[in-house]
Amino acid sequence: MELVKTISNNKLIKSILVVFIGSILLTISAKIKIPFYPVPMTMQTFVVLFLGIAFGYKIGVASVLLYLIEGIAGLPVFSNSPEKGIGIVYFVGPTMGYLIGFVFSSFLAGYFKYNSNYFVNFIKILFSTSIIYIFGVLWLGNLIGWDKPVLQLGVFPFLLAEIFKMLLLVLLIKKIINFRNFI
């Protein structure tokens, strides 16, 4: 019985550690801007999906939620913070829908089962990524008004970068899934 408790505690400790590391990876991915056309690219959406795929939906969602809590609490973890604000003020700004979409995207990416079919895997990753943009556009449209070019502001500038990140995930999916063995 004692051995079962020890194993269970070790698994919990590993899971908590991975969640913290996941939130750190998200923070780093938000801060590094890679020159890309037409706007600089961060690797945030890549990391959001990576966490779900690599560690499963529970760890992925927990990592994203911790990241969001850190940001809402005032830590400068979000992209463009502290330059454009911190805490709840930044969170409820134009990017709130995207940030909330991260939670659902990581869940889906972790929930899906992947195989060696690149096309099917791409569709699953495309669907998971689309959730981020659906939440983002819905919030952005309500915030700035639907009379504004919401898609031109909140989706189109990011499409090339997202396609690049999705293709990268598809190519690395077998290696990413192997991370689950660490937990």
Is 63 buried (19+), middle (13-18) or exposed (0-12) by CB count in 10 A?
Answer: buried
Residue 89 Cα to chain centre, angstroms: 20
CATH number at residue 101: 1.10.1760.20
Q: Integer distance in angstroms from the first to the last C-alpha of the chain?
A: 21
Domain of 92 in residue numbering reads as 2-182
Q: What is the pLDDT of residue 182?
A: 60
Number of domains in the chain: 1
pTM here is 0.91
Q: What is the pLDDT of residue 80?
A: 86
Q: What is the pLDDT of residue 78?
A: 94
Q: What is the pLDDT of residue 176?
A: 92
The string of pLDDT tens digits covering residues 128-175 is: 999 999 999 999 999 999 999 999 999 999 999 999 999 999 999 999
Q: What is the pLDDT of residue 6?
A: 61
**CA dihedral in degrees (121, 124, 128, 130; nearest 10)?**
110
Q: What is the pLDDT of residue 2?
A: 63
Q: Which helix (H) or strand (E) holds 17?
A: helix 2-31
DSSP 34: B
Q: How many residues does the chain have?
A: 183
Q: What is the pLDDT of residue 3?
A: 52
Position of tokens 């990391």?
47
3-class secondary structure per residue, 153-183: HHCHHHHHHHHHHHHHHHHHHHHHHHHHHHC
Tokens of 41: 């690219």
Position of tokens 């750190």?
24
pLDDT < 50 positions in the chain:
none
Q: What is the pLDDT of residue 8?
A: 61
Rg of the chain taking only CA atoms, in angstroms? 17
